[in-house]
Amino acid sequence: MPREPSDAEVIAASVARPELFATIFHRHFGAVHAYLTRRVGGARADDLASGTFTVAFERRRSFREDADSARPWLFGIALNLTRNEWRAQQRALVAVSRLTPAPAALGGNSTVELGGPGGELLARVLGELDQGQRDVLLLYAWEGLSYEEIAAALGVAVGTVRSRLARARERVSTALAIAEANRGELSEGREMVE
């Protein structure tokens, strides 16, 4: 039985035969879409996931041949598109704030959907993390990416991933512990950082 070609092999072949890129789409669309749904909500996830694969298709010639999986690369593209959208939203909020009092934004994730007890607090705490810490934590906790895959997705060193994740865990744990002591209701939120 022949082995299934790696993502790198499929992407390389898709340069000459563009229809082969559909294999990458079928392999990874679900994971990318699920991540984006958790980050920006279902309504925007469809567009951003489609945009991720459009950008990936356009840039397939630049895919690193030594990378077996396209997953970190695709998550990196998705993150960049999410950041671009967040910047646009922030600019719009600044413009609107000049006209009316602005609602509190959740640090780039104003549409984060976190259900259950303590979800609002967890969303606020995640919004207070710096962008790098939040990206690392969510790729680790939601997507199950390894440190190496996160480093590839973000274009940073593995040591940077480790330190950002440690700082993010500490900040979230501390905030949740304080809230738990005050309200005793946040067991769901703690699962993310343990």
Angle CA 40–18–139, to nearest 5:
25
The token duo for 166 is 């440690």
| Whether the predicted pLDDT of 22 surpasses 80 | yes
Based on the fold, state whether residues 130 and 101 are members of the same structural domain.
no
**Ranges 49-58, 103-112, 149-158, 169-178: which has the least confidence:** 103-112
Q: How many C-beta atoms lie closer than 10 Å to residue 1's C-beta?
A: 3
pLDDT of residue 6: 93
pLDDT band (50, 70, 90) for residue 65 = confident
pLDDT of residue 89: 65
Q: 28-67 burial, b if ≥16 CB within 10 A, otherwise e?
A: bbebbbebbbbbbeeebbeebbbbbbeebeeebeebeeeb
CATH of residue 24: 1.10.1740.10
Last residue of a domain, one of 47, 78, 113: 113
Q: Is the dihedral of CA 31, 42, 50, 92 positive or negative?
A: negative
Highest mean pLDDT (candidates 83-97, 116-130, 161-175): 161-175
Based on the fold, state whether residues 5 and 89 are members of the same structural domain.
yes
Give the count of domains, the chain.
2
Digit-coded pLDDT (tens) for 74-96 = 999 999 999 888 777 666 645 54
Inter-CA distances, 133 with 25, 109, 125, 171, Å: 28, 14, 12, 10
Helix axes 22-40, 71-97, angle to 10 degrees: 40
Based on the fold, state whether residues 28 and 100 are members of the same structural domain.
yes
Based on the fold, state whether residues 125 and 102 are members of the same structural domain.
no
**Length in residues, the chain:** 194
Quickly list DSSP for 17-38: -GGGGHHHHHHHHHHHHHHHHH
Give CA–CA dist 136/134, Å, rounded: 6
Domain residues for 194?
115-194
